[in-house]
Structures are given as C-alpha cells and as structure tokens.
Amino acid sequence: MRHAAAIFCLTACFHAHANELRDGPNGHKLILINALDTQVGEKGFAKNPLRNIHLAIYWIADTETTVEQFAAFVKATNYVTDAERLKFGRVAKEGMADWAWISVEGACWRFPHGPAQPAAENNHPVTQISGADARAYAAWIGRCLPSIDEWEVAASAGSTTRYPWGDKFDAKKANIWNGESHRKNTREDGFLFTSPVRSFPPNKWGLYDVIGNVFEYCEGIPNELTIKKTTRDQVIAGRGGSWWCSSTTCSYYNLRDVGTMSVHGSIANQGFRMVFDEKAVLQKK
C-alpha cells in the first residue's frame, strides 16, 4: 500500500469545460468532456507514469452502468454473461479473511452474491460482469469502454489530488470497506456491499462514484504494468476501487492507481462506466 502523496500534475488547458449534461442511449446521463491537451499519471509511479496526452471531445456517463440498464441489453439481445455460462461468480462476505473470495454457484448479474441471497437492485451498479461482458454491452450501445486516460481525466475533473475532494480520504464521500479487516464492516459510509448510484456527492464535473462502489473496466493497459505479452489479451484494466477495497488490502480507491483483472472473470465488485462520441449521443437507443 502506498502512503506517499501523489505528485500528479494536471495542466490548466481544459478549454472551458462545458459540464453539459445530456440524455444518452439506454437511460445514460452524459457529461461533456471537451477536447484537451493535458497530463495524466503520477511522477515516479510505474503503474501509471506521468505523461502528456491529447483527448478528443467525448461524453461520459455520470454513473456506472446499472442493473436496469444491463437488463435492457439482455432483453434486447438474449446475451449470456460469462458468469452465467460458467455457472459461478466470485463472492466476498463479511466475516471472511482479507483477500478471501469464494466461487458461488449461480452467482451472476441478477444475483451477485448467489441465488440464495437478494436479487440485484435496479438502481445499483451491475456487477458479476466480466470485461468481455462489458465490451459486449458497449458494442450494443454503440461506443466502447473508456480508455484509462479518458477515465482519469473525467474522474479527476481538474483535480491534482488523490481523491476528487482532496488528499485525505473521507468515508462519507465514497463506498469502500470500513474496518480494520473484512471480518467486520463498520459501515461508516452506510453500506456493506454496493450502494445505489448517485448515493455520494459527485466530483466537480458531475460524475458519481469515481471512487469506490465498483471497479470500472477501462481499455489500454499501460506498458509499464508487469504483464507477460502472451497474457495481455487475457486481462483488462480496472480503476477507482470498490466497496470491497480497504486501507489494509486493496487501496486502489483513488484517482491514480490502475489495476488489472481477467477479461473473463466475474466478481461482485466489478462493473463499468460508458463513454460516447457525438454520433452515439445523437442517436439514442
């Protein structure tokens, strides 16, 4: 776990970010991110090194994709997720040891903790979704998952700090695991597992849950990550941390870290957020 303050640098040339909100396909609410030249990453951080980038104009969903939105995709396409095909998903429960996940038969996006547990609620982020499943949804809706750079620029909203609100974590502003270990969740943020989207304050540009709730799949794994070339197509990037992340285990609930996951793995803390180009915004489904 890294405790050093971020040395991240973000240039000021955001060219009058419009912060415009528009209705997008399948009920997504979209935030405009204007074209810009800037920097992302962190100096001296191998997983996400400081670098100059250029981004064209894009629109990004203000929340993670919800259960209701994914259900509309399944209804329209009869899509079968990896968890449903493999007949299990990975689940963590309160009382388990840190890093202890179990494979639960029947766990899928409809029942993220297994068929014996409550069904997923419509206004929660969809989970038990693999990277391949998220890409299939993106293809159906007409765009793709955000790149790691698109995600970071939108999530940071011009901030140079570790979190959208500053460099000190605030348990009231994001859904992570509260407690010294996964044996007990003190629920300082009010939730044990996922929270409904828009439960916490948005960042300065109107995006919710960029920190915590669920890891968000992104495209473009940095070359600096230590992944064998023969397996790079088997993994996908994830950003922002999740309800399961804690200060003593996975500390990726920040604006800089980039994680990786199996592209066909299905876990109860993985989800995704969508980005759109102008054409997709204008041609709503």
Read off the pLDDT of residues 211-228 as tens digits, 9 standing for 90 and up.
Answer: 999 999 999 987 666 566
d(C-alpha 216, C-alpha 196), whole Å: 15
The amino acid at 87: K
Residue 233's pLDDT is 81
94: which 2 tokens? 């309160």
* Whole-prediction pTM: 0.90
Read off the pLDDT of residues 63-72 as tens digits, 9 standing for 90 and up.
Answer: 999 999 999 9
Measure Cα distances from 160 to 93, 201, 240, 256 in Å: 34, 18, 15, 10
For the chain, percent of residues with pLDDT exceeding 90: 76
pLDDT band at 15 (very low <50, low <70, confident <90, very high): very low
What's 64-273's CATH class?
A: alpha beta
Measure Cα distances from 187 to 173, 178, 194, 209, 268 in Å: 13, 6, 12, 17, 18
* Cβ count near 108 (within 10 Å): 24
Residue 231's pLDDT is 74
Q: What is the SS3 assignment for 68? A: helix
